[in-house]
C-alpha cells in the first residue's frame, strides 16, 4: 500500500466519495477549516463530492452547511440517496424487507444470546428496551424487534433502512463474522462502530453498489472515482473505486481493501489527497 504522497492518481478525477465518521470528520464530529476549503476547491474545479455514510439522513447536519454543488449524499450504508439541499429529502430508497430482517433477528437470538436490536426506518429509529438508547431520537418507540417489524397490513409500513444489532460482550469482529455466517445469505451485514454493533441492510445493498449506480447515472466510471474510508462498511467502496485511500486510523480490513493510505481523520487525511489531486491538474 502506498502513501498519500506517492500513490498514483487517476488520469482524471470526476468524483470524490468520502465516508464521514473517522474519515472526513474529526473525532469531535467537526470539519476542519482545511477540509472545508479542500471540499470547496474540488467542487469549484468541477469534481463532484459525495458524502457516503452509515448515518441516517437526519444526522447529516454535520456536513449540510458544506455542500457546494449537487448536495447529494448516500446514507444508511447505501440504503438511501438524499438531497441535503432539500431538508434531507429521500431520492432513492433500497429497503431491507421486514421478513429478511426478522430472519436475522431470529438467527442472532439463537447464535448470540443477549443481542439487542434497533430498527432504522425512513421515519426514524425504534429500539428494544435493552438496546443502548438513542438520545438524539427522543420520539422513538420501544418494543421487542418482532413487534417493531410487524405489519398489520403487509407492505404498508414505513420502509426499513437498517436493522441494528448490539452485543455487550462479543468482540466486534467476531460478532460480525458470526452474523455473516448465520445470516449472510439473507442480508448484507457490516459494521462501522468500535463496539459490537452490526448494521444489517438489504441483500446487495452497500455503499459501493449505490455509489456505482449514482456514478452510472452520471456517466462516471469507477476509474474516475477517488474514495476514502476507515471501517468495514467502507471495504466494498474502497475496492470498487479506481483509486482509494484508507485513513491512518483505519480498520485492517479497510487498509487491505484500499489502494493507498493517507493521514488520520485528525490529520486532515482526506484534504491532503484532494490538495494533491488539484495540484496535479
d(CA 84, CA 261): 29
All three cell numbers of 84: 441535503
Mean pLDDT value of segment 186-195: 96
Helix/strand/coil for 134: coil
Q: pLDDT digits over 108-153, tens only?
A: 999 999 999 999 999 889 999 999 876 667 678 899 999 999 876 5
> pTM here?
0.93
Q: pLDDT grade, residue 62 (50/70/90)?
A: confident
pLDDT digits (tens, 9 = 90+) for 68-91: 556 789 999 999 999 887 666 788
Residue in 276, 279, 229 with CA at minimum distance from that of residue 6: 276
Position 71 scores a pLDDT of 74
Query: Per-residue pLDDT tens for 143-174?
Result: 999 999 987 655 567 999 999 999 999 999 99
pLDDT for 88 equals 61
Yes or no: say if 18 and 41 are a contact pair by the CB < 8 Å rule: no
Amino acid at each position: 500500500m502506498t502513501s498519500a504522497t506517492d500513490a498514483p492518481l487517476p488520469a482524471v478525477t470526476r468524483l470524490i466519495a468520502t465516508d464521514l465518521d473517522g474519515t472526513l470528520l474529526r473525532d469531535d464530529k467537526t470539519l476542519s477549516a482545511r477540509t472545508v476549503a479542500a471540499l470547496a476547491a474540488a467542487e469549484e474545479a468541477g469534481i463532484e463530492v459525495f458524502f457516503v455514510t452509515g448515518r441516517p439522513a437526519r444526522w447529516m447536519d454535520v456536513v449540510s452547511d458544506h455542500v457546494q454543488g449537487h448536495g447529494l449524499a448516500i446514507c444508511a450504508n447505501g440504503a438511501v440517496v438524499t438531497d441535503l439541499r432539500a431538508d434531507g429529502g429521500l431520492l432513492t430508497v433500497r429497503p431491507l424487507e421486514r421478513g429478511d430482517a426478522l430472519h436475522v433477528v431470529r438467527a442472532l437470538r439463537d447464535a448470540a444470546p443477549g443481542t439487542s436490536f434497533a430498527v432504522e426506518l425512513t421515519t426514524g429509529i425504534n429500539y428494544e428496551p435493552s438496546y443502548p438508547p438513542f438520545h438524539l431520537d427522543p420520539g422513538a418507540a420501544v418494543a421487542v424487534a418482532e413487534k417493531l417489524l410487524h405489519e398489520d397490513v403487509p407492505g404498508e409500513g414505513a420502509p426499513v433502512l437498517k436493522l441494528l444489532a448490539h452485543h455487550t460482550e462479543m468482540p466486534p469482529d467476531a460478532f460480525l463474522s458470526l452474523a455473516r455466517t448465520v445470516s449472510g445469505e439473507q442480508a448484507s451485514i457490516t459494521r462501522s462502530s468500535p463496539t459490537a454493533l452490526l448494521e444489517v441492510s438489504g441483500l446487495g445493498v452497500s455503499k459501493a453498489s449505490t455509489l456505482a449506480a449514482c456514478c452510472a447515472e452520471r456517466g462516471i466510471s469507477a476509474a474516475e472515482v477517488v474514495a476514502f474510508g476507515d471501517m468495514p462498511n467502507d471495504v466494498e467502496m474502497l475496492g470498487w473505486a479506481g483509486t482509494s485511500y484508507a485513513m491512518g486510523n483505519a480498520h485492517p480490513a479497510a487498509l487491505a481493501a484500499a489502494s493507498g493510505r493517507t493521514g488520520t481523520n485528525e490529520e486532515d487525511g482526506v484534504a491532503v489527497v484532494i490538495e494533491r489531486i488539484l495540484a496535479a491538474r
